[in-house]
Amino acid sequence: MMSGARIALIKGDGIGIDVADAAMQVAQAACRQVGAPALQFDEISAGAGYFAETGQDIEPGGEERAGDADAIFLGAIGLPAIRHADGTEISPHLRLRDRYGLYAGMRPVKAYPNAPQRLADPRAAGLDLVILRESTEGLFYSAAAHGRSVVVGDEEVRETLRITRATTEKLHKFAFRLAEKRRARGKRARLTCVDKANVFTSMAFFRKIFDEVAKEHPETEVGYNYVDAQALDLVRRPWEFDILVMENMFGDILSDLAGGLVGGMGMAACAEIGDQTGLFQPAHGSAPDIMGQDKANPLAAILSGALMLEYLAEKTGIVAYGRASDVIDWAVEEGFDANRLRPKEFGGDMGTRAVTDEVLAQIGSPSQSRAAG
């Protein structure tokens, strides 16, 4: 029997534990449904809770084991009351991004039937776009490792915004490949470069590299928007956009704004992909105020698990993982369409366990064979 992909599982803090368990249970069920090899888990302790106990933010050898796995799945990390001496939160996942070059941060933004839609325009019901955020440089370059910020007494702090050709070229090439994949699935694939090129030299450089890569892909329609105008357009006319590629901090902000358009952070799946490995996580925080209360919406984590399976299909060549990913996407879509998914986050009556059980039921239903293909 073919060996299954190895997953470095970091459950982390707060609701991260619950949603990671839910996501991996659903991923395994989808694999069984399509005959894909079972995932193999290597659980790694990390996060603010672990830091409070040990003084380390990840267990010894944890970073190396994460990089050795086929993929990394992260629940959530951070607790507001537990911080470094400089006031920043515990964040080993930023270091993992930096160490393993996870430059392509994908944030899908998709509207589901019967889920909250914050915009009254009926076109908002068809939202299906991707925010592609560079995840290792930009203004987060200083945050990835202590010592990159310059602190001048108690009077001044300087952070470095870094844009390199090597990373930016890879990001833009990833964006155009993503456009090709969307077209192959019958979706629109207009690619918009989001920057502040009218003010910052770094952003003009970012756009210059975008234009260079665009010349290699004349079949893809491209556009441009300054980040402030893009924030406005995500509220005014988000249905006109397909893939938005941007610097790290811009993506951090706009992806949360976009998540709010389709319900909230409980639907915000995330993939961070590099040349050798990928990290997958719900984009929400650890929400310690509801931890252990069966209130968390696990769908962002479950959909992140689907992104992970799609990635594993390409990385390992096991095409059944791609079918398992499709099964999960289909199960969530069908669950919302039938009004059988009603997360408490949206004012519904279903907690973490109930939502997970319903997705599992959809996966196991006879009609899911359409998705399994």
Active site residues: 141, 196, 228, 252, 256
| Residue spans of beta strands (DSSP E) within the chain | 6-12, 40-43, 71-76, 104-110, 128-134, 150-152, 156-158, 191-195, 222-226, 243-246, 271-273, 278-280
User: CA 133: distance to chain centroid?
Assistant: 10
Q: Is 62 exposed, middle or buried (0-12, 13-18, 19+ CB in 10 A)?
A: buried
Which candidate, 170, 266, 184, places its Cα nearest to that of 219?
Answer: 184
| Residue spans of beta strands (DSSP E) within 2-158 | 6-12, 40-43, 71-76, 104-110, 128-134, 150-152, 156-158
CB 278 within 8 A of CB 115: no
CA distances from 16 to 5, 38, 286, 303 (A): 22, 22, 6, 14
